[in-house]
Every structure is written in C-alpha cells, then in structure tokens.
Amino acid sequence: MAELRAQALWQAEQEADALQAALNEEDCALFEQHVLGGVPCPLCGLGRLWSQAGTLLCTGCEDMRVPLVDEAMPMEDVSELLGLAEDGHRCAGCSLRPKFEVTSGAGPPILRLCCAGCGWSELAL
Ligand SMILES: [Zn+2]
Ligand SMILES: [Zn+2]
C-alpha cells in the first residue's frame, strides 16, 4: 500500500513538473515575442507579422493571410505602409480609431483600413 501511495505521489509530482515546464515555455514565447519586437498584427494586436512565400501571416491569428505585392517586402516596409494608412485616415480629419480588416471578394484577400465613423475604406497593403 505504501508503495502504491509513493507511486501516486511521484506521478502527481511529475505531472506538476510537466505543467510547470509548459507554463515556463509559454512565458518564454511571450518574452521572446517581446524581445524580438517585430510588427504587431493589425488585426489581433497580439501576434507578430511574418511572411512566407509572399503571403503576410500572423503568429497569433488565422485572419491575417494577405498576399504581398512584393514577395521580398521587409517587415519594416509593411509596418510603414500600415502606419501610412493610419496617417492618411487621420489627415482626412477623422479622430476616430479606424481598424484594419481583411476582405476577400472575388480576388485575393486584401488588407484595408476601415472606419465606421467616416466611412473610410482604403487599401493598406
Ligand atoms: Zn493577428
Ligand atoms: Zn474615420
């Protein structure tokens, strides 16, 4: 009996360790994201943007899946274009916060900046 109990205890300990390790890993991932910086996803705000084979993707969400005009476009340029899109809206005289949306009609998905307040809808990428 004592042996069984010892084993159960041991098992519980192992599980706790595994859980702890998983938690640490998660923390690390967050930490890494923080350290690495990168361009935050304009859709979810949590993930970081990256591109693969000419498609702009997000590490955090599935919604971001936009083909890039220039396959080799560096993330700094993407970030700049997103900023320019926001500037354009602000310069048009609206102080509301617009939001980025991925829309896909008949063609490939595109990223646009939309504002419900002034009806702004401009291609961002
Ligand atoms: Zn995202
Ligand atoms: Zn607006």
User: Over the chain (125 residues), what is each successive 10-residue block's mean pLDDT?
Assistant: 80 84 70 67 95 94 93 92 96 96 89 97 93
Sequence-separated (6 or more) residues with CB below 8 Å from residue 59: 33, 41, 47, 48, 49, 50
Asked if 46 and 40 touch (Cβ cutoff 8 Å), the reply is yes
Q: Which ligand gives the minimal distance to the CA of 113?
A: 2
- Gap between the Cα atoms of 95 and 121, Å rounded: 15
The CA 16 to ligand 1 mean position distance, Å, reads 31
pLDDT at residue 35, rounded to an integer: 46
pLDDT at residue 79, rounded to an integer: 94
Ligand 1 ion: Cβ-proximal residues, 5 Å cutoff: 41, 43-44, 47, 58, 60-61, 64
Q: Which ligand gives the minimal distance to the CA of 85?
A: 2
- Gap between the Cα atoms of 36 and 20, Å rounded: 24
Q: Which ligand gives the minimal distance to the CA of 117?
A: 2
The CA 76 to ligand 1 mean position distance, Å, reads 17
